[in-house]
Chain A
Amino acid sequence: DGGITQSPKYLFRKEGQNVTLSCEQNLNHDAMYWYRQDPGQGLRLIYYSQIVNDFQKGDIAEGYSVSREKKESFPLTVTSAQKNPTAFYLCASTAFETGDTGELFFGEGSRLTVL
């Protein structure tokens, strides 16, 4: 079945370590997104990519980095520069075609905890 796969589902990190969250989609979607969700808050956009080898900062990009070398993959690295990285991270994609509703399809999320 087509969908978005995020891994790992749970991740623990010591302070000062970089970690990379994986996001893979087989929906043939052009655009991919990373959101962060904190308790009691909505989703906030970290980075997005509309085509391969191109990505843009979202509202809270500081302390994060991404790459888009393949259409199917959009990994997110949480660097040591991110001051409060403990959160739930959601990856999403969309077909981004004129006339579509443009709904985002989401993965099941990765929960990062800094010890």
Chain B
Amino acid sequence: GAVVSQHPSWVICKSGTSVKIECRSLDFQATTMFWYRQFPKQSLMLMATSNEGSKATYEQGVEKDKFLINHASLTLSTLTVTSAHPEDSSFYICSAGRGTQHFGDGTRLSIL
């Protein structure tokens, strides 16, 4: 069964809305989780590393004020896309694990 749960799986909302995506580790405690973005027919691009109890570290070119990450517990990390615009539409995926990373099923975000 799944070891990483991601919710929601699909979001459609108006431009300017903020959207929160949750990522939970089900069978283990995760001090670190990762957030990826994937465009159609492209591979996963790491956006940020979520660290429990401390600030997330963002990859170059990723706006930290746009993509807010909170890792408040050892089993939950959230990604909030603030004031989303159509160009933020994408497939967002989280992962967690020790060594081998296990991935959530992704969130399809569509901004109208």
**A and B bind:** no
Using CB atoms and an 8 Å cutoff, list the residues of chain A in contact with chain B: none
